[in-house]
Chains A and B, each alone.
Chain A
Amino acid sequence: MLKADYIITENRSIADGVYLMTLRGDTSAIKKAGQFADVAIEGYFLRRPLAVTEWDAEKFSMVYKVVGEGTAKMALMKEGQSLNVLTGLGNGWNAEAASSAALVVCGGIGASPCFSLVKDLVGRGVKTTVVLGYNRACDIILEQEYRALGAEVIVATMDGSRGIKGLVTDAIAQEKPEFDYFYTCGPKPMMKAVCDALADASGEVSLEERMGCGCGICYGCTCHTTEGARRVCADGPVFRKEEVIW
């Protein structure tokens, strides 16, 4: 974990209520795809835990959704402003678990923490299919970026305005992508449906919970798992699907 100040180099809307912020600064604590950052926003007591979408040696980016006052204030911030952020939080994905073909199922803002995972997978030569599930075409994020990484992308929308009409599980049933391991992040009912539909496969999920510290010291985000009580922030957010008690 590292606490440092970062300079905003980019903060723009990429879909309805969804923003991409890029921060320049020390990224040495970010080790694995699927980790998150905890952002201090002036005027708000607690930090906002947000998934890291992508990072390199000089900067990292977060695709985030405005869900309350704190993220609304964040969305108004401008290039050149500074933010204090804790980085290197959470366990991250086990990208090595997929051997030759991976399935990555994302719902909504869940497309954000999967991005670097797919980059890793494709980089290792793992054939990767990304299923993106949204309500409407205008909600879709990162589709072109996922394609640019070299992943096969399947889109599902509830209203049928783009891709397959229906749920991500409908898209998986219809397209039958090949995979030996799956990863999923999105709303809990979606992840449960994915795990149920892929009951015979191995995979992992990234959970979300209201957090206090984000770094494992307050026990504010503990969930029941088959392995016992686990902190989503420090023991997770990624859990093997067998560990999750829905």
Chain B
Amino acid sequence: MVKEDKLKVSLCSLELKNPVIPASGTFGFGLEMAGTYDLNVLGGISLKGSTLEPRFGNPCPRIAETPGGMINAVGLQNPGVEVLVTEKVPALRKIYGGCIIANISGFSIEEYVKTCSRSAQCPDIDIIEVNISCPNVHGGGMAFGTSPEAAAQVTAAVKAACPSKPVFIKLSPNVSDIVAIARACEDAGADGLTLVNTLLGMRIDIRRRRPVIANKYGGFSGRAIFPLALSMVNQVAHAVSIPVMGCGGVSSAQDVVEMMMAGATAVQVGAENLVNPMVCKEIVEQLPALMESLGITDIKDIIGIV
């Protein structure tokens, strides 16, 4: 049987006990799940996207279903970075020893810098994940993630403000050339990349003749986007030399292996948590037997082999 330490992966200078990480926005601040299972089975946790100021987010309905997935327009509801670093993260650290990833959004470069540098002061935060790809807020978010120049500007500014922490940039799939944006982030000093965020999507209630989601459009995620995410991870991972966290439609241990073969060093599980809140734990438990059946002795060996 594959030993537990054969699930370890390294992200920048951090060692994760396994590559499985619930993706931002699909696992709250971790604390919400603390009563359901021991979070220490997880390699890392990417926390709910946070901004400088508290935000209510968008009106309801925020959720719509699609074949094989869903659309959300939560709109970055969060209590603000101050609550993140003084309450949420310290509370999580008390019960969780793995990698804590703060996911940060902003509406201007100045705001990204302020919020990221405040997060970087928190000793319990291991990685800053900069979200330049949220499709659900106006005047920001994804606007920074759709051009190589803007992505590079945010990256350089944030990295300059957080020299001591690994900075990952979370990329949008809603672009014509994700490799160009990934390279621009790497050149601007990013320590790693997370991809992909959600695709812009929509559903219409044909009886009421209006969008299902109050915000009209939302971020499309879930199993249906896995092949798209996989191809983007594969293209990017082979074009850059910094680590990639693969994300998008991952729902099983098989998907984790596929993402890693495509080039991901760690794998984030997103919408599937909403369907099965135990899925990350189940994937971690299933990985050794799957590796055994595939002749994988150490999970690190498969990163980028395809």
Report the minimum CB–CB distance from B33 to chain A (whole Å).
6
Residue contacts A-B, CB under 8 angstroms, 24 given: A1-B35, A3-B276, A3-B277, A45-B66, A45-B67, A45-B70, A45-B222, A45-B223, A46-B274, A47-B275, A209-B60, A210-B60, A212-B62, A212-B70, A213-B274, A217-B28, A218-B273, A219-B28, A219-B62, A220-B60, A220-B62, A220-B72, A222-B56, A224-B56
Interface membership of A50, Cβ < 8 A: no
**How far, in angstroms, from A138 to B178 measured CA to CA in the complex?**
58
Per-position 1/0 for B34-69, Cβ under 8 A of A: 011000000000001000000011001111111111
Q: Name the A residues within 8 Å of B74 (CB-CB).
A: 218-220, 222
Query: B62 and A221: CB pair below 8 A?
Result: yes
Q: Name the B residues within 8 Å of A223 (CB-CB).
A: 60
Residue of A nearest to B57 (CB): A222
Report the minimum CB–CB distance from B205 to chain A (whole Å).
10
> Which of chain A's residues 161-186 have a Cβ closer than 8 Å to chain B?
none
> Which of chain A's residues 68-89 have a Cβ closer than 8 Å to chain B?
86
Per-position 1/0 for A201-220, Cβ under 8 A of B: 00000000111110111111
Residue of A nearest to B223 (CB): A45
Q: Name the B residues within 8 Å of A219 (CB-CB).
A: 25, 28, 48, 57, 62, 74, 77
Interface on A for B, CB 8 Å cutoff? Answer: 1, 3, 40, 44-47, 86, 209-213, 215-224, 229, 234
Report the minimum CB–CB distance from A132 to chain B (whole Å).
27
**How far, in angstroms, from A40 to B35 measured CA to CA in the complex?**
22
Classify the secondary structure of A's interface with B: loop
Complex partner residue of B61 from A1, A40, A210, A229, CB under 8 angstroms: A210
Report the minimum CB–CB distance from B151 to chain A (whole Å).
26
Per-position 1/0 for B239-275, Cβ under 8 A of A: 0000000000000000000000000000000010111
Apart from A1-B277, A218-B74, list 10 A-B contacts with CB within 8 A: A45-B65, A210-B60, A212-B72, A212-B274, A213-B274, A217-B273, A217-B277, A218-B25, A218-B273, A222-B74
With A217-B33, A234-B32 already in contact, the answer to whether A86 and B277 are too (CB < 8 A) is yes
Interface membership of B297, Cβ < 8 A: no
**How far, in angstroms, from A45 to B67 measured CA to CA in the complex?**
7
Interface membership of B278, Cβ < 8 A: yes
Q: Name the B residues within 8 Å of A213 (CB-CB).
A: 26, 273-275, 277
Q: Name the B residues within 8 Å of A46 (CB-CB).
A: 63, 65, 70, 274-275
Query: B26 and A217: CB pair below 8 A?
Result: yes
Interface membership of B27, Cβ < 8 A: yes
With A45-B223, A86-B277 already in contact, the answer to whether A210 and B63 are too (CB < 8 A) is yes
Query: B274 and A217: CB pair below 8 A?
Result: yes
**How far, in angstroms, from A20 to B225 measured CA to CA in the complex?**
36
Query: A218 and B57: CB pair below 8 A?
Result: no
**How far, in angstroms, from A221 to B36 measured CA to CA in the complex?**
20
Q: Name the A residues within 8 Å of B274 (CB-CB).
A: 46, 212-213, 217-218, 220
Residue of A nearest to B79 (CB): A229
Report the minimum CB–CB distance from B212 to chain A (whole Å).
8
Shortest beta-carbon contacts, A-B, top 6: A213-B274, A220-B63, A210-B61, A217-B28, A212-B63, A216-B32
**How far, in angstroms, from A221 to B63 measured CA to CA in the complex?**
8
Residue of B nearest to A47 (CB): B275
Report the minimum CB–CB distance from B211 to chain A (whole Å).
12
**How far, in angstroms, from A47 to B32 measured CA to CA in the complex?**
19
Q: Name the A residues within 8 Å of B273 (CB-CB).
A: 213, 217-218
